[in-house]
Structure 1
Amino acid sequence: MAARRWSPRPWTSSSTVPLVASLGIIAVIYLAGAMSSWAYPAAALAALSYIRPAPVAAQDVDVQWYPSSQTRVNDLAGVLEGTGVWDFVFNSSVTPDERYGVYNWCNMPHVRSSEYVKARDGFTLQYVEVIQRHHKRTVYHSNSFPVESYTWDCDDQGLYGYGEPFAGNRSARAYREGFVSPVNPFQPSGFRGSCQFPQITEEGLDDSWQHGADLYGVYHDLLGFLPGRDGEYRDKVKYRVSNNLITSQVAGMLINGMWDTTEPFPVMSEQEGIDFLAPQYSCPRSSSLFNSIRSSSNPSWRNRTALTGSLFSTLDALSGVPPNDGGWHDTFDHYYDNLSARQCHAKPLPCRLVGGQNSTDCFTQDLADRVYRLGNWEYSQIYRGTPESLAASASSYGVWVAHLAEHLREVVAGTGETLYFHNVAHDGSMSRLMSVLQIDEMVWPGMGAEIVFELYKQDDEDSVPTPQPTPTGIVAPGCSRNNCLRQVIRQSASASSFCPGFTTSASTAVPTWAANCADAAQLSSACGCVVQPTATATTPAPSQTAAPSESGFYVRVLWNGQVFRSASPTLGLMDMVPVETLLAYFDGLVGRRASLVRANCA
């Protein structure tokens, strides 16, 4: 790609971003009932005090915690009494095109050309940073039942791992081949077989490759932003992995999917123990806050514990897990990982073992679905359900956030040489970042879950983006969250004038702004699914109305391939947020170059 040509005005510490109120059709009343949901105000104040004040510039934007919308995921009563797992997918990596965008635990939606919405005219893409969770894998050994009723083999792949000097003798392409020795009297608990627990499975490797191919299809084929595969791309793109080998397994396949190369390719990794991508650095205060959220001092968690005891007893009886094993009962994480890993790979749900043999007393789909619903509720509660969640996440993921901020600053200053930076991380990484950005509808980020930061430069002063209201997309019960509905929510300005008077007939044309709707009937259904909240005089909805960027740079953030929705009025609908606003928000939480993180972790 040709060198960038601009003379940016540097962002200074005196830059401020005024915020004023506005309201649109999908703008939702965040504060209606929200303040009452701060179940324990003393704890809220204490949590906010954990974020040390930053320099003056970072105080010019609101970095307070705001609650996410009330949804089916964080409604504990509905989670406990419901059936199924909404429209979520847990049994296949393949999502039909007409449903692409729905939550798929096995292979989350990501940026791809068929759904990608280009930025508005007048802006040129300058930099892209992606962070994703690894793709699907075997279960962690610690999440296996004490005795598993069948083996799990991975004979359809090789785990390559070898060293080779850049100059000198060459290495064989050695890979690890798992085996079970009939002579070894010391046998592992849990799953047996030729797999490592964990390792990315053959299907997960294919998903990783396709993920890379789809990213190239957008950022090269569709946008012409990345160099071609036969061009000089190696010094323009970077990849980062954690110390956990499963992220390197994903990165290798993803790089080949993007660049069609089998040549050696560097992936960056940091020393174990201080790695900020996973993250691994010590942050006692964050651990204390998260522990507080997952304790009886949190009324919501206390209620969850009181109402799930019988479910845990049922699960323990089927699995053989000791009832006094705290790791299996602090959260539903272990059961969730065990059952979902099986179902994503078309393996049967297990049965209770009697004398080493399967009985007819088995896990049912209803039991698994209850675990999946509760697992998502727990993640919503841990990372977005209390004021402490923001402080806990900002401290423990603040170094990565500061790293991203520096990348953006370098591009704005004209010193950044990298066009594209890709991080392969974990669910704990993604969840903390979603918490820092105050996602409006928190879920447990599934396999391959992705957040994309796109940095644009304004071409001329006439292309200043119109501020968008902060929406939550309240959707009526029973509605299918397909791409048509997502587009109606995303195009709230057009929908607000179109939907009220829309009637269908065989000849009714679908407007261009709703191109993802197959026909007028589907568009009518989507219009009817959007519930417009009623504002009150005492609880106005926060909204995003930021001043134009002083530097002419704007950031668009994508989640599930669509524009990210934040509950914070500072960020709102993250479609062309002035880079100064985002940087000030990050600085207010973690400090310039992570200067607040040590103090916030102590």
Structure 2
Amino acid sequence: MIKITSSLLALVLALSAHAASVDTLYPNISDPSVIENPPYDSMMHGSKHESRTGPSDGSYNYCSMPHPSVSYYKEPQPVANGTVNANLSALLYIQRHQKRTAYNLFPYGENEHYDCTDSEPFLYLGATNSSSPKPLPVYAATYVDDQNPLYETLTESTCQFPQLTVGGFLDGVQHGQELYELYGKKHHVIPSEPSAQTVWLRSSTASLTQGSAGGVLRGLWPHYNKPLPLHQQIDSIDSHEPPCDYNDALLSASQSTKVWEKHLEVTKTLRKELADMLFTNNSDWNSNFDHYNDNFQARLCNGYKLPCAQSGSDKCVTEEQARQVFVAGDWEYNYYWVDRENVTEAIQLTSGLYIKDMLKQLQDVESGKSTLKYMHHFMHDGDIGPLAGSLGIRSLRWPGMASNIAIELWKTENHETYVRALYSGSTLQSRHGDMEWMPFDKFVQLWSKYVPHDFVAQCAQS
């Protein structure tokens, strides 16, 4: 007879909870019928100042996605079970920014007063490399002038759209603190102080990713007060979202399939109900669920209510309607980056140049050409989606706020390098192979399939 001790019970419960949390990341959502009968609760909630008060348990949480954390992190199985003696030697970490206000506001205004008076988005202009003069730190204080005849058609707000919220900043600080506990104190790839020899940081040119970096890096290094370079590429040719006209043709083809038409038919009633209520009866809002998701997500994650009718009636979007909107958004993301027939070429022309950049970083680190140990990229959901697809993710819900991909390099005592890829804190469940412990060369070969052979020629197709 096995005696169940309290410690054993705690372990069983923890493992059960973690298994359940992993299931929330990989539901079967290939068939559009899931939108009408969601197989999971897609409703989201967050507060104005923080999405959560403790470490994530690994469950999907759009407002604050899980990330590698000592609370549930497990070393790769061959290391954990003693089959292999290896140490973590380097980390490439790509994350979406933390939570924000909406991109998409209703055409005839918002009934919610977005308040950002507790936020001070700092702007640093005109700094020099020399010791002086240094710019005076200034921040953007958004206000509403009621003499402006246009303000009522937007929203009486003290926020920019989009803008990282205070809750997003604070969640970023916690994100950084937890990363340091794991990858700094335990595995020693994040140094106690950043240096150009060991740390490399990159962001898009958007203020959202830069602001998120400010929060996460403060969590990593709470007492560091020197400036840090956050590398960016020129906006018009940035490899994380390079201009490519042929992408429009690929998208159009993907939206002309029977399964896409089925998803529109399944959501026909929902889209009409929302359009009638919110005066959104135009193609930008009704061709897909991007705008509705964005608007509803930003409201609920920052402590605001779902929208009400533009006509002034007391009719509001219900939680059931919102649930269907969120599952429809999940279905679309999964379709775009996992299921559609032209997904490989779509990923090549969306993120292939970015993948090429990251492969070069990893190869230089693995060969010893580079001394970097920690590379952190601050990007967008439009980056996380195709990157997860390129790694063969089995199922992809909409990459939530601060969703992340971690590429760990492990060095064995025989000087062999292995890769472990994580998605939002857990080993990525891939159709391409075992992402728990993959030889470095095999990983490079696999990921290289998504690097375009001739980007310019592919994008010039008619």
How far did 1:94 drift? Answer: 4.2
With over 3 angstroms needed to count, the CA separation of the structure-2 counterparts of 1:585 and 1:228, relative to structure 1, is same
Q: Select which of 137, 141, 163 maps to 1:173.
A: 137
Contact 2:42 2:327 in 1 (8 A): no
* 3-state SS in 2 of match to 1:412: helix
**AA paired with 1:291?**
S
Residue 430 (1) aligns with residue 384 (2): yes
Counterpart CA distance in 2 for 1:576 and 1:275 is 31
With over 3 angstroms needed to count, the CA separation of the structure-2 counterparts of 1:368 and 1:87, relative to structure 1, is closer
Counterpart CA distance in 2 for 1:144 and 1:128 is 41
**AA paired with 1:274?**
I
Residue 555 (1) aligns with residue 414 (2): no
* 3-state SS in 2 of match to 1:86: coil
Aligned to 1:256: 218
Q: Deviations over 1:530-554 (max 9, x none)?
A: xxxxxxxxxxxxxxxxxxxxx7211
Residue 235 (1) aligns with residue 207 (2): no
How far did 1:268 drift? Answer: 0.7
Q: Select which of 33, 50, 56 maps to 1:77.
A: 33
**AA paired with 2:250?**
L
Q: Select which of 327, 336, 339 maps to 2:296.
A: 339
Contact 1:133 1:448 in 2 (8 A): yes
Q: Deviations over 1:172-209 (max 9, x none)?
A: 11011001112223336333311010000000000111
TM-score by structure 1 length?
0.67
Counterpart CA distance in 2 for 1:352 and 1:447 is 27
How far did 1:145 drift? Answer: 4.5
Counterpart CA distance in 2 for 1:374 and 1:236 is 42
Counterpart CA distance in 2 for 1:225 and 1:218 is 9
Contact 1:384 1:390 in 2 (8 A): no
TM-score by structure 2 length?
0.87
Counterpart CA distance in 2 for 1:212 and 1:564 is 21
Q: Which has the larger radius of gyration?
A: 1
Counterpart CA distance in 2 for 1:102 and 1:96 is 15
Q: Select which of 147, 162, 174 maps to 1:183.
A: 147
* 3-state SS in 2 of match to 1:581: helix
Contact 1:144 1:191 in 2 (8 A): no
How far did 1:443 drift? Answer: 1.1
Q: Deviations over 1:204-255 (max 9, x none)?
A: 00011111111111111111233224xx645311111111111000001111
Aligned to 2:375: 421
**% of aligned pairs identical?**
28
**AA paired with 1:90?**
M
Aligned to 1:449: 403
Q: Deviations over 1:9-29 (max 9, x none)?
A: xxxxxxxxxxxxxxxxxxxxx
Aligned to 1:24: none
Aligned to 1:129: 92
**AA paired with 1:562?**
S
Counterpart CA distance in 2 for 1:89 and 1:96 is 19
* 3-state SS in 2 of match to 1:439: coil
Residue 289 (1) aligns with residue 250 (2): yes
Aligned to 1:312: 271
With over 3 angstroms needed to count, the CA separation of the structure-2 counterparts of 1:70 and 1:579, relative to structure 1, is closer
With over 3 angstroms needed to count, the CA separation of the structure-2 counterparts of 1:97 and 1:579, relative to structure 1, is same
* 3-state SS in 1 of match to 2:235: coil
1:107-506 matches, cutoff 5 A: 107-119=64-76, 120=79, 121-140=84-103, 142-163=104-125, 164-167=127-130, 168-187=132-151, 189-229=153-193, 233-260=195-222, 261-277=224-240, 279=241, 281-294=242-255, 297-321=256-280, 323=281, 325-354=282-311, 358-460=312-414
Residue 596 (1) aligns with residue 461 (2): no
Give the count of matched residue pairs: 424
* 3-state SS in 1 of match to 2:314: strand
Q: Answer with 114-123 or 573-582: which moved more.
A: 114-123
How far did 1:264 drift? Answer: 1.6
With over 3 angstroms needed to count, the CA separation of the structure-2 counterparts of 1:135 and 1:166, relative to structure 1, is same
**Unaligned stretches of 5+ residues in structure 2:** 1-24
Contact 2:35 2:266 in 1 (8 A): no
Aligned to 1:470: none
Contact 2:34 2:327 in 1 (8 A): no
How far did 1:309 drift? Answer: 1.9
Counterpart CA distance in 1 for 2:64 and 2:116 is 19
How far did 1:576 drift? Answer: 1.7
Q: Deviations over 1:448-475 (max 9, x none)?
A: 0000001111213xxxxxxxxxxxxxxx
**AA paired with 1:599?**
A
**AA paired with 2:426?**
Q
How far did 1:71 drift? Answer: 4.2
**AA paired with 2:292?**
Y
Counterpart CA distance in 2 for 1:582 and 1:188 is 53
Residue 576 (1) aligns with residue 434 (2): no
**AA paired with 1:130?**
Y
* 3-state SS in 1 of match to 2:288: coil
How far did 1:387 drift? Answer: 2.4
